[in-house]
Amino acid sequence: MKERLREIEELALNRLKDIDDLKELDDLRVKVLGKKGELTAILRDMGKLSAEERPIMGQVANEVRSKIEEGIQSRKDYLSNKEKKAKLEKEKIDITISSNTKILGHRHPLLATIDELEDLFISMGFDVILGPEIETVDNNFDALNSPENHPARDLSDTFYITEDTLLRTHTSPVQIRAMRELGAPLKMVSAGRTFRFDDVDDTHSPMFHQLEGLVVDENISMANLIHTLDIFIKELFGKDMKTRYRPHHFPFTEPSAEVDVSCIKCRGEGCPACNFTGWSMELLGCGMVHPQVLENCGIDSEKYTGFAFGMGIDRITMVKHGINDIRLLFENDNRFLQQF
């Protein structure tokens, strides 16, 4: 009997080696270990054995059974792994193909730049304040100390709605509104549309954009202005950017300065874009708020001082993205917008 058991074991294990699919494997299991299987049939004869032989034979039979079970299991693992592997192999796809079914919209590069600048100033403690596009002559010129005879006031420079109202030529009137409504201390920026009587060409547009900032408090100095703008410029264009403050003239600030920034293209080395000066010229205008402007807004110019700065967003956007024609910003060509 023992021999028969060993024979079954050997036969089964030998056959396992040739089995190549799970169905056949299951057939084998039923044939050997099933209720009507070969091993079960032999065990049925166990009753005929002597009481001494029975446990010994039982042990052998169990050994044989578990050996065969193990064999089947390991063959099963082998086969199912092989099958998975084949499946994976078969399911290989061309990963260089793209589907392009999900489309994400694009922000307008100029408006995105405004957001970026505003967020930067918010992080530095500035409030963002909004103002109207149509303004009074008072807010846009008079209160800002613009001389009565200033050419900017001409019909050939500024769009007028009536004698007293106009399309704002800069975002500075928002500062006047803020100073009059909120008083000092004040720390604000304001960005938006501005208008000047300029024919459309590659660098001019009758509508353009500015961002201006204002800080009014006790003991505000030119050194504070420089510190604030330096942080801002390095955040915007990179830590390696240098600034250069040059005296200039604006009616609403005294002293006034213009700020040159290292050429964005060559980072200051000198290239055709910066006329080999290494500087991107006139990126910002700034200065200490003219005492008359503070007084015009009901702020005591002896107690408080302030600084103000302003920049053209169109130019900054163009410099940042290497856009060479301002008209692209207003044409809204989809192929342009999708680049940002």
Partner 1 sequence: MLLPVQWLKDYIKTDKTARELADGLTLSGSHVESIYSLNKGVENVVLGKIVSIENHPNADKLVICKVDIGEKEVQIVTGAKNFSQGDCVPVALEGTILPGDIVIEKTDFRGVESNGMLCSLKELGYNDNVISKENKDGIFVFNEEFELGSDVADILGLNNEVIELEITPNRPDCLSIIGMAKEASATFNIPVEEPEISISHEEDHISNYLEGIEVESDNCNRYYAKVIKDVKIQESPLWLQRKLMEAGMRPINNIVDITNYVMLEYGEPLHAFDVSKLEGRKIIVRQAKEGETLVTLDNAERKLIDSDLVIADENNPIALAGVMGGLDSEITSETTAVLFEGANFNPKSVRLTAKRYNLRSEASNRFEKGIDPNLASLAVDRCCQLVELIGAGVVVGSSIDVYKEKNEKKTIALRPDRANKLLGLNLSVEKMLDYLNSLGLESVLEEDLIRSTIPTYRLDLDIEADLVEEIGRLYGFHNIESKPLTGVLTRGHKPYEKIIEDQSKSILSGLGYNEVMTYSFISPKAYNKINLPEDSKLRDYIKLINPLGEDYSVMRTTLIPTMMELLSRNYNRGVEIVYAYEIGNTFKPNKDSVDNLPSEEKVLSIGFYGEGDFYSLKETIEILLNRLGIYGTEYIREENNSTFHPGRTAKLLLDGYELGTLGEIHMDVCENYDIKERVYIAQLDFDKIVELTNFEKKYKTLPKYPAMNRDLAVIVDEEVLYGDIKNIVLKHGEELVENVEIFDIYRGNQIPEGKKSIAFSIIYRSYERTLTDNEVNQIQQAIISDLENNLDAKLRS
Range 264-323, binding partner 1 (CB under 8 A): 275, 288, 290-292, 305
Classify 305 as helix, strand or coil. Answer: strand
Classify 165 as helix, strand or coil. Answer: strand
Query: Is residue 262 near partner 1 by the rule CB under 8 A?
Result: no
Q: How many CB atoms lie within 10 A of CB 161?
A: 10
Query: What minimum distance in Å lies between the beta carbon of 292 and partner 1?
Result: 8
Residues in the chain: 340
Closest CA to 311 of 239, 243, 265: 243
Binder of partner 1 out of 63, 77, 115, 300 (CB under 8 A): 115
Q: Tell me the C-alpha distance between 143 and 129, whole Å.
A: 18
List binders of partner 1 among 130-169 (CB under 8 A). Answer: 130, 132-136, 149, 151, 154-156, 159-162, 164-165, 167
Measured at the CA of 331, the angle between CA 327 and CA 332, to 5 degrees, comes to 130
Binder of partner 1 out of 4, 31, 248, 267 (CB under 8 A): 248
Burial of 44 by CB count in 10 Å (0-12 exposed, 13-18 middle, 19+ buried)? exposed
Query: What minimum distance in Å lies between the beta carbon of 166 and partner 1?
Result: 9
Nearer to partner 1, 26 or 217 (CB): 217
List binders of partner 1 among 18-77 (CB under 8 A). Answer: none
Nearer to partner 1, 19 or 110 (CB): 110
Measured at the CA of 331, the angle between CA 208 and CA 326, to 5 degrees, comes to 45
Query: What minimum distance in Å lies between the beta carbon of 329 and partner 1?
Result: 7
Nearer to partner 1, 75 or 245 (CB): 245
Stretch that binds partner 1, among 15-23, 76-84, 87-95, 214-222 (CB under 8 A): 214-222
List binders of partner 1 among 94-113 (CB under 8 A). Answer: 103-108, 110-112
Query: What minimum distance in Å lies between the beta carbon of 172 and partner 1?
Result: 16
C-alpha distances (whole Å) from 244 to each of 228, 233, 240, 320 are: 14, 11, 13, 19
Could you tell me if 278 and 262 are in contact, meaning their C-beta atoms sit under 8 angstroms apart? yes
Query: Is residue 227 near partner 1 by the rule CB under 8 A?
Result: yes
Query: What minimum distance in Å lies between the beta carbon of 198 and partner 1?
Result: 8
Query: Is residue 219 near partner 1 by the rule CB under 8 A?
Result: yes
Binder of partner 1 out of 1, 42, 49, 222 (CB under 8 A): 222
Q: Where are the alpha helices (DSSP H) in the chain?
A: 2-16, 22-33, 38-44, 53-90, 109-123, 137-140, 172-182, 222-237, 291-296, 313-321, 327-331, 334-337
Stretch that binds partner 1, among 56-64, 73-81, 116-124, 261-269 (CB under 8 A): 116-124
Nearer to partner 1, 172 or 228 (CB): 228
Q: How many CB atoms lie within 10 A of CB 33?
A: 18
Q: How many CB atoms lie within 10 A of CB 88?
A: 9
Binder of partner 1 out of 142, 230, 235, 295 (CB under 8 A): 230
Query: What minimum distance in Å lies between the beta carbon of 23 and partner 1?
Result: 39
Query: What minimum distance in Å lies between the beta carbon of 322 and partner 1?
Result: 19
Classify 123 as helix, strand or coil. Answer: helix
Binder of partner 1 out of 67, 255, 266, 278 (CB under 8 A): 255
